[in-house]
Amino acid sequence: MKIVVQNAAFELGAEVDAMRRGRSDIGAIASFVGLARDMNDGSDVAAMTLEHYPGMTEKALAALVEEAQSRWTLLDVTLIHRVGRLLPGDPIVLVAVAGSHRGEAFAACEFIMDYLKTRAPFWKKEETPEGERWVEARASDDAAAMRWGKTD
């Protein structure tokens, strides 16, 4: 299991290669890469700054991955989330889940992303032509997480 909060960019191919290197038990790796957009709520976005609470964030991410591992038989998980100032098109988050079969890998990847959007202690500030603004949580993200049922 790899959980990292970092400023630096990541490379999907390198992360997937690292997960499967020396492993013959992995039958599937499902991944999700989230990217910074140039538009949000009808406004152009020049950049986004992601902040977090060091230590607390990593602990919350580890608990989220542990919850996924309790629901599905997972062989490995990589979760990388960037912080700092990001430009449109920059990668923000990587969730990669390895399993024996695709079904568990897909489900766990989606679960982790859904809960990451609602439970992880990150704060986003966008730079727009109207000035800087903090990004509020979306009801659609809460609804996506609720479909998985209650977690501890």
Q: Name all domains of the chain by residue range, CATH numbers in brackets.
A: 2-135 (3.90.1170.40)
Contacts of 141 (CB under 8 A, 6+ apart): 114, 117, 118
What's the whole-number mean pLDDT along residues 46-61? 96
Going by their DSSP bridges, the two strands 39-40 and 28-35 should be labelled as unpaired
Instruction: List beta partners, residue 131.
Output: 128
Q: How far is CA 34 from the centre of its chain?
A: 7
Helix H or strand E segment including 29: strand 28-35
Instruction: List beta partners, residue 26.
Output: none
Going by their DSSP bridges, the two strands 47-52 and 84-86 should be labelled as antiparallel
What's the whole-number mean pLDDT along residues 54-83? 97
- Dihedral angle, C-alpha 108, 112, 115, 118, nearest 10 °: -150
Quickly state the pLDDT bin for 4 (edges 50, 70, 90).
very high
Percentage of the chain exceeding pLDDT 90:
80
pLDDT at 42: 81
User: Cα separation of 88 and 94, whole Å?
Assistant: 16
Going by their DSSP bridges, the two strands 131-134 and 43-44 should be labelled as unpaired
pLDDT at 41: 81
Phi, then psi, of 135 in degrees rounded to 5: -90, 125
pLDDT in tens, 121-134: 999 999 999 999 99
Here the tokens at position 150 are 């209650």
